[in-house]
């Protein structure tokens, strides 16, 4: 009995947890943050940034001396030389050798220091690439979110039209029963209702597809139970676009990650050129070593012990080396030339990125202006269509017009409402893009 109660409690808890999960309503900010946290491209770029950080650390650690150690145990047969006494023995000889040595680059034409700088700026550019991907994901999520809001409005408008048609069917049926209108009028209205039901199904399918698109961007397994917050978004009668193209660009060019990344890569290529030029310079290095030996011949009774031999056979070394490059098949010159070309290419990339940003801002600004004009025109059209439909409906109720005229007025009203909704959300998205270029966060809170 207790076991059954325990199982029942666990089942209730699981069901409750699932219900709480399903009841979560997502805001735009929630969606953006979740997408950023789970996006595969962002995770991959994060790994790439960590690799670049390791590369930078390696170049810094390359300034340290290189040190290596060696230990050996050797056997010599026949006439063998004892390295501790430099005497020959006609017997098997065993010996040990212990060595610790290193090398330090004192000057390499500043190649090491310039390599560190190059890797540092490449890391910073990689971080900007990561931010650019985050921004692209955020914009994609915002567009998908607004698409759901648009499709919701279209579904609501279509449902309203269908309900109006169903009400008109009921009125017309009574009029047919009373003999005041012909049966053909009722059939035409019913045909209109059937067509509107098809339109409603199509709109609902588009809404489900938009939900699917957003949940896929969020890396959710299924859109089942997924709901978003529907904010009260309105376009005021005096709505305007803050700033002009040049003002927005002047802010964006100093903050957008694609611009900053190109600038950092240009700096990195300039340091790469310095590294290539450094190969022309002479290099100076210092070597240092310590060694000691042991021979079992010297360890015979009356001779030195193992510890004494290690102490007495110690040797130290210190040396300096100067390397002057003279001829290496013009490899250095070609590397310098390629590095110069890389700098020039980075300059063109930066210039192209700036122009592309300006064009994107121009396009977004033009789209926002056009969408706002379209919205105001559509709003007037909706107002006129609503008034026209009310007048048409009154005339149809008294049999003054045919169902064809009535259906045409209804269709015109639905089209006007749809165009107004589309213009509204296009305007909102484009203004959010412009705000994004200004460095403002993506939000629908007004």
Look at 49 and 445; give whichever has higher pLDDT: 49
List alpha helices for 23-110, DSSP H: 28-38, 40-61
CATH of the domain at 50: 1.20.1600.10
pLDDT of residue 85: 67
Nearest alpha-carbon partner for 322 in 106, 51, 136, 121: 106
Do residues 332 and 320 both lie within one domain? no
Do residues 330 and 373 both lie within one domain? yes
Question: Tens of pLDDT along 105-148?
Answer: 888 889 999 999 999 999 999 999 999 999 999 999 999 999 99
Do residues 76 and 149 both lie within one domain? no
Mean pLDDT of 296-316: 72
Triad 27, 431, 357: Cα angle to 5°? 115
Question: Tens of pLDDT along 330-386?
Answer: 888 999 999 999 999 999 999 999 999 999 999 999 999 999 899 899 889 988 988
pLDDT(276) > 70:
yes
Query: Three-class SS of residue 286?
Result: strand
Nearest alpha-carbon partner for 277 in 60, 57, 115: 115
Q: Of 2-6, 258-262, 434-438, which gets the smallest average pLDDT?
A: 2-6
- Over pLDDT 90: what percentage of the chain? 45
Helix (H) or strand (E) run with residue 283 in it: strand 283-295
Do residues 219 and 273 both lie within one domain? yes
Do residues 181 and 99 both lie within one domain? no
* C-alpha span between 80 and 92 (Å, rounded): 7
* Strands 227-228 and 25-26, bridge-based pairing: parallel
Cβ neighbours for 236, distance < 8 A, ≥ 6 positions apart: none
Residue 444 lies in a domain: no
Domain that holds residue 36: 26-64+108-281+325-437
Nearest alpha-carbon partner for 211 in 197, 199, 226: 226
Do residues 256 and 139 both lie within one domain? yes
pLDDT(251) > 50:
yes
pLDDT(426) > 60:
yes
Mean pLDDT of 322-337: 88
What does residue 442 show for φ and ψ, rounded to 5 degrees?
-80, 115
Quickly state the pLDDT bin for 151 (edges 50, 70, 90).
Answer: very high
Q: What is the DSSP string of 161-194?
A: HHHHHHHHHHHHHHHHHHTSS-HHHHHHHHHHHH
Mean pLDDT of 32-39: 96
Quickly state the pLDDT bin for 403 (edges 50, 70, 90).
Answer: confident
Rounded mean pLDDT of the chain?
Answer: 87
Q: Which two tokens stand for residue 94?
A: 């065993």
Do residues 54 and 187 both lie within one domain? yes
Residue 121 lies in a domain: yes
pLDDT of residue 16: 47
pLDDT of residue 18: 45
Q: Which of 324, 343, 377 is the last residue of a domain?
A: 324
Residue 233 lies in a domain: yes
Residue 127 lies in a domain: yes
User: For the purposes of burial, counting CB atoms within 10 Å of the CB of 303, is it exposed (0-12), middle (13-18) or buried (19 or more)?
Assistant: middle
User: What's the pTM value of the predicted model, to 2 decimals?
Assistant: 0.82
Nearest alpha-carbon partner for 325 in 288, 287, 284, 286: 284
Residue 316 lies in a domain: yes
- If one counts every other C-beta atom within 10 angstroms of the C-beta of residue 78, the result is 10
pLDDT of residue 1: 45
Nearest alpha-carbon partner for 298 in 73, 89, 71: 89
Separation in Å, CA 394 to CA 83, 330, 370:
120, 92, 36
Residue 443 lies in a domain: no
pLDDT of residue 298: 56
Question: Tens of pLDDT along 212-229?
Answer: 999 999 999 888 889 999
Do residues 267 and 206 both lie within one domain? yes
pLDDT(255) > 60:
yes
* C-alpha span between 359 and 242 (Å, rounded): 18
Question: Tens of pLDDT along 172-201?
Answer: 888 888 887 888 888 988 998 999 999 999
Cβ 311 vs Cβ 293: under 8 Å: no
Query: Three-class SS of residue 44?
Result: helix
Mean pLDDT of 146-173: 91
pLDDT(58) > 90:
yes
Nearest alpha-carbon partner for 288 in 60, 63, 68, 59: 68
Do residues 300 and 198 both lie within one domain? no
Nearest alpha-carbon partner for 416 in 387, 440, 446: 387
pLDDT of residue 17: 45
Residue 7 lies in a domain: no
User: For the purposes of burial, counting CB atoms within 10 Å of the CB of 260, is it exposed (0-12), middle (13-18) or buried (19 or more)?
Assistant: buried
pLDDT(2) > 80:
no
Helix (H) or strand (E) run with residue 306 in it: helix 306-312
Instruction: Fill in the DSSP letter of residue 282.
Output: -
What does residue 303 show for φ and ψ, rounded to 5 degrees?
-100, -170
Do residues 83 and 127 both lie within one domain? no
pLDDT of residue 20: 40
Query: Three-class SS of residue 101?
Result: strand
* C-alpha span between 93 and 78 (Å, rounded): 9
Mean pLDDT of 10-35: 69
Do residues 229 and 308 both lie within one domain? no
Do residues 261 and 113 both lie within one domain? yes
pLDDT of residue 236: 77
Residue 11 lies in a domain: no
State the total domains in the chain.
2
pLDDT of residue 400: 82
Cβ 266 vs Cβ 347: under 8 Å: yes
- If one counts every other C-beta atom within 10 angstroms of the C-beta of residue 1, the result is 5
């Amino acid at each position: 009995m207790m076991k059954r109660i325990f199982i029942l409690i666990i089942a209730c808890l699981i069901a409750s947890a699932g219900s709480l999960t399903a009841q979560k309503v997502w805001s735009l900010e929630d969606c953006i943050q979740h997408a950023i946290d789970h996006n595969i491209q962002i995770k991959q770029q994060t790994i790439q940034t960590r690799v670049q950080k390791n590369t930078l650390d390696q170049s810094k650690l390359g300034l340290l001396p290189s040190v290596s150690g060696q230990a050996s145990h050797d056997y010599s047969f026949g006439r063998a030389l004892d390295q501790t006494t430099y005497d020959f023995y006609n017997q098997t000889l065993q010996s040990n050798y212990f060595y610790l040595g290193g090398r330090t680059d004192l000057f390499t034409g500043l190649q090491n220091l310039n390599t560190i700088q190059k890797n540092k700026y490449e890391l910073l550019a990689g971080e900007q690439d990561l931010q650019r991907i985050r921004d692209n994901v955020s914009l994609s999520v915002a567009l998908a979110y607004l698409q759901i809001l648009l499709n919701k409005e279209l579904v609501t408008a279509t449902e309203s039209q269908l309900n109006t048609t169903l009400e008109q069917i009921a009125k017309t049926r009574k009029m047919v029963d009373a003999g005041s209108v012909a049966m053909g009028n009722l059939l035409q209205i019913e045909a209109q209702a059937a067509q509107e039901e098809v339109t409603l199904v199509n709109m609902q399918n588009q809404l489900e597809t938009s939900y699917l698109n957003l949940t896929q961007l969020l890396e959710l397994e299924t859109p089942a139970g997924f709901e978003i917050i529907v904010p009260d978004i309105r376009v005021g009668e005096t709505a305007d676009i803050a700033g002009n193209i040049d003002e927005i660009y002047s802010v964006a060019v100093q903050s957008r990650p694609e611009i900053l990344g190109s600038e950092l890569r240009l700096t990195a290529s300039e340091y790469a050129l310095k590294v290539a030029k450094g190969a022309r310079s002479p290099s100076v290095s210092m070597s240092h070593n310590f060694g000691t030996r042991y021979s079992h011949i010297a360890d015979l009774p009356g001779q030195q012990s193992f510890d004494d031999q290690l102490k007495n056979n110690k040797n130290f070394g210190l040396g300096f080396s100067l390397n002057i490059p003279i001829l290496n098949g013009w490899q250095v010159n070609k590397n310098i030339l390629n590095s110069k070309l890389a700098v020039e290419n980075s300059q063109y990339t930066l210039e192209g990125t700036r122009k592309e940003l300006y064009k994107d801002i121009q396009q977004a600004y033009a789209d926002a202006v056009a969408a706002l004009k379209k919205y105001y025109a559509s709003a007037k059209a909706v107002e006129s269509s609503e008034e026209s439909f009310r007048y048409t409906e009154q005339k149809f109720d008294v049999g003054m017009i045919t169902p064809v005229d009535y259906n045409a007025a209804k269709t015109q009203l639905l089209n006007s409402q749809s165009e107004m909704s589309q213009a509204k959300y296009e305007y909102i998205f484009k203004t959010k893009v412009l705000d994004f270029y200004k460095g403002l966060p993506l939000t629908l809170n007004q």
